[in-house]
Chain A
Amino acid sequence: MLIKEIDYGTPASKSTKTVTLTIDGSTVTVPACTSIMRAAMELGTQIPKLCATDSIEAFGSCRLCLIEVEGRNGTPASCTTPVAEGIVVHTQSERLQKLRRGVMELYISDHPLDCLTCAANGDCELQDMAGAVGLRDVRYGYDGANHVFKKQNGAPNPDWMPKDESNPYFAYDASKCIVCNRCVRACEETQGTFALTIAGRGFDSRVSPGMSESFLDSECVSCGACVQACPTATLSEKSLIQIGQPEHSVVTTCAYCGVGCSFKAEMRGETVVRMVPYKDGKANRGHSCVKGRFAWGYATHKERQLKPMVREKITDPWRETTWEEAIGRVASEFTRIQGQFGRDSVGGITSSRCTNEETFLVQKLIRAGFGVNNVDTCARVCHSPTGYGLKTAFGTSAGTQDFDSVEDCDVMIVIGANPTDGHPVFASRMKKRLRQGAKLIVVDPRRIDMVRTPHIDADFHLPLTPGTNVAVLTAMAHVIVTEGLVNENFVKSRCDMDAFQEWAAFVSDPSRSPEAVAEYTGVEPEDIRGAARLYATGGNAAIYYGLGVTEHSQGSTTVLAIANLAMVTGNLGRPGVGVNPLRGQNNVQGSCDMGSFPHELSGYRHVSDDATRTMFEEMWGRPINPEPGLRIPNMLDAAVDGSFKAIYIQGEDILQSDPDTHHVAAGLAAMECVVVQDLFLNETANYAHVFLPGSTFLEKDGTFTNAERRIQLVRKVMSPRNGYGDWEITQLIANKLGLNWTYTHPGQVMDEIARLTPTFAGVSFAKLDELGSVQWPCNDANPEGSPVMHKTTFANGKGKFVLTEYVPTDERTGARYPLLLTTGRILSQYNVGAQTRRTDNVVWHQEDRLEINPHDAEQRGIKEGQWVRIASRAGETALRALVTDRVAPGVVYTTFHHPLTQANVITTDYSDWATNCPEYKVTAVQVAPTTGPTRYQEEYEAFAMKSREIQRVSTGAPSR
């Protein structure tokens, strides 16, 4: 069945007052300010409409929705006319029918009559409306002015425009445009990019990307909101044009970033026709970005490896084999190695891109099967400080709010996050609130888009020197405490007073004032003061942060400083406020929740806790080691030392994503059995002995947990092309090791998680199916989950203020390395790019570039687009320069989406003091012009090429 959400025509009113009116003889009570159109739809009456859709504000242009109100003149548009107490509305009369038919007659007089061969055939609102108003004739004929025909009366038609097919994912056919402005308004209201407008006026009006540019050349970010909003075939997905209308759809969850957008996978058989954001998805509310909406073609990319492979040595070519042999090899090697080098010589890494159930099974395999706690996950390198810091301050390792909370926010602080690129769908929701008047403070070394974007201008941008987050945030606390802006009531009733008093005295010290820290933070003291005052006094204030907070030697300290600010101002425990980590990967929250860390079982319970361990031991029938195991860097260290020999890596490319590539490579090379389970032969697989082909999110059932703790179902829409879901592969290994797992569906794994994890106690696939999603904690106390946490009391009782002494990183600039490198992401690419690089998203970002300030560039003789060598004490690499004042003098910036860049060759092994989260965001570097890639890059590329060779059994010839 094809899921069709009800379109109420106009957005819901938030009014708490109600109004009762009569529509076509039926009485309906709706919130005040509801449109008559929506009120009618509440009764099930669809008033004809074309320009209205409930994701955007009413516009009133199509004039099909005219109605009559007793006692009022004229025929008002029901979309723009609000309800009023006691009015009597008629939605159909002879006059209305005639008017609507007159309007439709005009529409169709400038629209092609090629319905049978049109991509929207069967899903066209114009077609539906022609039917609804009873249009039988177009008396104007087709010999007049029009946008339809390329030639008119033998001469070229100046009003006709060729199709714009520049965007790789959708086409714009102006000949079918009815100028309802829905695309323009979606671009403005939903996405907030303002890339589209209407060019010309009157009959000449046409949708125009930018200044009549092509879609690809315009500011368009390809979020798809316009395509979704289009009621005709004017903006259509190319996949839809190619395949045809879908016949059924399945609601599932996007496998890209931590926003966790809900999508309808619209299918024809097992073929995806298109992914359409699901309006009832509570994380995305019907919006999407270029990745989730369009960049799913990697699932069928030719480079996807579908058969298991083994090899003796990493210098050998791969040999495709059977699942039985590959699984057998894993089991026998792990058994052999543990026998030979001791139990602790093996471990594994869970994936933040796989489902909760898969992650749970991998750590279960490691703990119960291998009998070790040597399990870690990619959160190690991203949000481990969040887990540590928020658990210390509030008692739970997660963000405090739901995304909807932003709608009640008056002041936003964005620290070390670049939401328009990293979390674009949530960024659109933030921008919407900012356009409504919320204030914005950006703390970032780089002038991210949010600082100044259409109709948004940050009130404060604190362009701090990388590595000085703690000093800046503590200085803000200094201002709040010394200027008497403390929320005494909240602090007294909710927080540990002894800790507070100690902290207040600490931050009040003059050495922590904005003036005192200005020298090394590089931020104007008045800006820190202004930002602190705004945060403390501007109403509901929320902090949103990303990896620019955590990936530092003081990452955990910064998280604590953020928690302190929220507590001291009382910005916790209600909608509109809170501490909101923007988590990077789709299921990084979930992978942490599922017990992926070496010291914690699911639900963040320490392995040394006897009661918890006993629960698991009883359920699993295996002993659990009470000592924490090795973290990723420790496993690699141990491998280099010769004591760690085998690793099972599911859906993670540590060679590209982890810091200090040379060290990672050395660690992997020193192991005797590296098992990589992935969609593609990723960089880590270059060092692997067994390759197990993984499945995509389209091919399995399960759940993801997004940045707001929302657990959502991932639903299988096609058979795994590789043969198995990832959870099944892990089960094959487990059973080969004699664990006798008998899961036949991931729902059974969730049932086990629920039984073992108090915060998940109320979660089941049945409940998720019924409610759509829940936010943990979901238990007897909160049977439908918890959108906002810490409402009346913190999870750990009293909120805990922690002293945040600024300790400069050891990584600092000097004569040899005078610039600071910081890293980030770009909208069109995701993480190491394994998926997005295998889609048409490459048209927006074909390579990583080094952003450098014009001042620094000129000093070094670097020109735009030129190759530059970038060196740190860890290593060097080369890429092309992008000269921009978006970065301050002294700071350079790059993304890390492309393996050739080898950005992590230069990042160092410094890490967060509490969690080992690497200090990606600060590396002292020197930059100089060069002629092309470094020798290492060339050698690595050659090595990678060779390492990916596959010996196919059938031909015997090596091939790529």
Chain B
Amino acid sequence: MTRLFLPRDAAALAVGAENVANAVQRASASAGQPIEIVRTGSRGMLWLEPLLEVERNGVRYGFGPLDVEDVSELVRLELFAAGSAKVFSHAKSLGPVEKIDYFAKQTRLTFSRCGVIDPISLEAYRATGGYAGLTRALALTPAAIVEEVTKSGLRGRGGAGFPTGIKWKTVLDAPSDQKYIVCNADEGDSGTFADRMLMEGDPFTLIEGMTIAGLAVGATRGYIYVRSEYPHAIATLKTAIAIARHNELLGPAIAGSAHAFDLEVRVGAGAYVCGEETALLESLEGKRGIVRAKPPLPAHIGLFGRPTVINNVLSLAAVPFILDKGAKAYADFGVGRSRGTTPFQIAGNIKRGGLFETAFGVTLGELVDEIGGGTATGRPVKAVQIGGPLGAYFPRALFDTPMDYEAFAAKEGLVGHGGLVVFDDSVNMARQAQFAFEFCAIESCGKCTPCRLGSTRGAETIAKVVAGEDREANLALVADLCQTMTFGSACALGGLTPYPVMSAIKHFPQDFDSQFPTPNSQA
């Protein structure tokens, strides 16, 4: 029986994957040729979705991006016939999926199963090395697990880049009757989708990673805080958690050990700031999502006042590999103090948008031009915003910057959660700077004054600049305001908003001068 693979990932569904799946099923029924369609996560080559794969002699061949109308032609070309190669003559035939340049160039450690297996098949997960990390962790002391993670060089993938092992050690060393593991899955940065893809495409990796974290620090309860905009991820996680619990991989005695660990999915209510870890904890406790002062660190006083590991989805999902293959296997990738791989998400005005997992050190230019293939509009790239709405705008002049926490910091930017949003030359960067303030104004929790009031005043002042009103004085005021926000804000939302603002002013000064015609009017 022929096995077909088609993503159930939200990005694929959004471009018609479900209709394609139904069409294939109908065709199989009417042709009387039974098939198996495995619904997988996405491979992350989003411009090829819906990407249908068919298995021939153990190799998976891709077709995409498919329309429902393509199905009858594929069937006519003997898609369902196990021995037939006719179908490869189809116009949308892509050849072996893993040979596609975009995929072949990646180093998939965290996303090794994403797009490959049925995400809610525990058997498939295990067959591909799943739970090997937990098995090893169960044989180690908590301190040894923490040591392994520390040695791997893993740093927080949410954006701050704090060493995960050190965070875990702090929680391990904090005495308490109860500790918690909290997974930050409130992925709200513009141009990012790696968390979602992983939760939809390989939820057991996250569950296993959190279970190992629980073992490592002595926590028996975990929460995954997922944004409400991710209904498919929420459903997939809940199903996977139920399966894990049924198979005693969660619960009072995980994998037959004396250790307890259980998990719960909590759904956010749409505030960007709840991706900030302390606001997330407040929200998780049922309170208004406003940031807490640090210290105390969540590692000391976190969820419900108890020591808490709060990590991003990608940080936790990297852990099973590290435990399974060893710290060195992970740390061997990367550059400088940025070890291992990270899934970059290439989005915006881009020809080949998608997820690209690779070792740190690849340059910005490689990702945008070579991997992404330049803009979708075909116009020149003017700016790339890296690290979400609070990340800096980099001009082409900075395309040689390696994707590495320190290298980006040196250029007044940040890697963040690894999201890239590409703009062509029709963008007005003054408008983008104003938008940065507006975004901050909409999403500010309202606690600290620099962010609460500064964001609104910033947007107003940039508007004055654009209108040519006291340009120099108002630009100076914006610079002062950015200082106040950078050093005065209580969290990264207000503290980082100056990045997009000041990078736009620094790299694209002509866009702030009303004497110059705006690029938009040019276009």
- A: residues with CB less than 8 A from B are 58-63, 66, 74-75, 77, 79-82, 95, 98-99, 102-103, 106-107, 109-110, 139-140, 144-145, 178-179, 181, 197-198, 200-205
Contacts and interface: CB of A to CB of B under 8 A. Distances in A.
Contacts of A200: 446
B449 A103 contact: yes
B452 A80 contact: no
Nearest to A66: B488
Q: In this complex, which of B293, B444, B455 has the most chain A Cβ atoms within 10 angstroms of its Cβ?
A: B293
B455 A203 contact: yes
Interface string B433-467: 00000001111111111111111110011000000
Contacts of A59: 293, 447
A59 B490 CA distance: 10
A106 B457 contact: yes
6 contacts: A63-B489, A82-B295, A102-B483, A106-B453, A107-B449, A201-B290
A109 B293 contact: no
Contacts of B288: 197-198
A205 B457 CA distance: 15
Nearest to A205: B446
Contacts of A204: 446
Given A59-B293, A107-B449, 15 more contacts: A63-B450, A63-B490, A66-B487, A74-B487, A98-B480, A102-B450, A103-B449, A109-B457, A140-B461, A145-B456, A179-B452, A201-B271, A202-B440, A202-B446, A205-B452
Contacts of B441: 202-203
B26 to A, nearest CB: 48
Nearest to A206: B446
B250 to A, nearest CB: 29
B293 A203 contact: no
A214 B451 CA distance: 28
Interface string B460-503: 11000000000001000100110110011110000000000000
Most buried by B among A95, A107, A205: A205
The residue among A81, A179, A181 with the most chain B CB atoms within 10 A of its own CB is A179
B270 to A, nearest CB: 11
A77 B293 contact: yes
Nearest to A180: B449
Contacts of A140: 457, 460-461, 477
B478 to A, nearest CB: 10
A95 B294 CA distance: 21
Nearest to B287: A197
A79 B451 CA distance: 18
Given A66-B488, A106-B457, A201 B293 contact: no
Contacts of A179: 446, 449, 452
Contacts of B481: 102, 106
Nearest to B487: A75
Nearest to A58: B293
A107 B453 CA distance: 7
Contacts of A77: 293, 490
B452 A99 contact: no
Contacts of B445: 201-202
B484 A99 contact: yes
Contacts of B455: 202-203
A144 B456 contact: yes
Contacts of A145: 456, 460
Contacts of A139: 473, 477
Contacts of A66: 487-488
A203 B484 contact: no
A159 to B, nearest CB: 10
A203 B443 CA distance: 10
B271 A102 contact: no
B460 A144 contact: yes
A59 B444 CA distance: 16
A241 to B, nearest CB: 26
Contacts of A107: 449, 453
Given A102-B450, A106-B453, A139-B477, A201 B490 contact: no
Contacts of A61: 447-449, 490
Contact of A203 (B444, B483, B487): B444
A201 B444 contact: yes
Contacts of B484: 98-99, 102-103, 106
Contacts of A197: 288
A75 B450 CA distance: 14
A77 B460 CA distance: 27
Contacts of A75: 487-488
B475 to A, nearest CB: 12
A107 B446 CA distance: 13
Given A201-B444, A202-B441, A60 B490 contact: yes
A244 to B, nearest CB: 30
A36 to B, nearest CB: 11
A202 B488 CA distance: 16
A103 B488 contact: yes
B488 A80 contact: no
A95 B446 CA distance: 24
B439 to A, nearest CB: 10
B153 to A, nearest CB: 22
Nearest to B474: A139
The 6 A-B pairs at the shortest CB distance, nearest first, are namely: A102-B484, A205-B446, A202-B444, A80-B293, A60-B293, A106-B453
Nearest to A62: B449
A110 B453 contact: yes
Contact of A99 (B295, B443, B448, B483): B483
Interface string B129-159: 0000000000000000000000000000000
Nearest to A204: B446
A63 B460 contact: no
Contacts of A110: 453
B176 to A, nearest CB: 14
A599 to B, nearest CB: 53
Contacts of B473: 139
B267 to A, nearest CB: 19
B280 to A, nearest CB: 15
Contacts of A95: 487
A200 B490 CA distance: 18
A99 B488 contact: yes
Contacts of A74: 487
A226 B449 CA distance: 20
Given A107-B449, A139-B473, A197-B288, A99 B444 contact: no
A106 B450 contact: yes
A763 to B, nearest CB: 44
Contacts of B295: 80-82
A63 B457 contact: no
Contact of B446 (A62, A103, A106, A203): A203
A98 B486 CA distance: 13
Interface in B248-302: 271, 273, 288, 290, 293-295
B317 to A, nearest CB: 30
A202 B442 CA distance: 6
B226 to A, nearest CB: 20
Contacts of B454: 106
Contacts of B290: 198, 201
Contacts of B452: 179, 202-203, 205
Nearest to B480: A102
A81 B477 CA distance: 29
Nearest to B292: A60
A75 B495 CA distance: 12
Given A110-B453, A144-B457, A198 B488 contact: no
